[in-house]
């Protein structure tokens, strides 16, 4: 029986518009979309495909152990 899983995704705005999507628990998931809604839909589809592929190969299905933390670091760009 399959379990319902929730995965954290990271939406990164791209310079040319749209969003790049990454999933920390599933590093092979990298996708994107022109809008946030499209990026979220693409992320869901990509996650489902990766999980199906992992199941077919007999690999473990990761469970997130804690949420990724986002912080800012300020650095000087002058040498």
Structure tokens at 54: 């992992």
pLDDT above 90 as % of the chain: 76
Bridge partners, residue 30, by sequence: 22
pLDDT digits (tens, 9 = 90+) for 8-27: 999 999 999 999 999 999 99
pLDDT at residue 69, as a whole number: 84
How confident is the model at residue 68, as a pLDDT? 80
Residues 43, 9: Cα–Cα separation, whole Å: 8
- Per-residue model confidence as pLDDT tens digits over 45-62: 999 999 999 999 999 998
Predicted local distance difference test score (pLDDT) of residue 25: 92
Task: List the domains of the chain with CATH numbers.
Answer: 1-79 (3.30.160)
Element (H, E) at 33: strand 30-33
**Which helix (H) or strand (E) is 56 found in, with range?**
helix 36-56
Q: Enter the pTM of the model.
A: 0.82
């Amino acid at each position: 029986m399959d379990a319902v899983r929730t995965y954290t995704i990271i939406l990164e705005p791209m310079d040319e518009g749209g969003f790049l999507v990454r999933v920390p628990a599933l590093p092979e998931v990298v996708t994107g979309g022109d809008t946030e809604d499209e990026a979220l839909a693409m992320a869901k589809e990509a996650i489902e495909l990766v999980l199906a592929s992992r199941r077919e190969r007999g690999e473990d299905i990761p469970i997130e152990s804690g949420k990724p933390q986002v912080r800012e670091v300020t650095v000087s760009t002058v040498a």
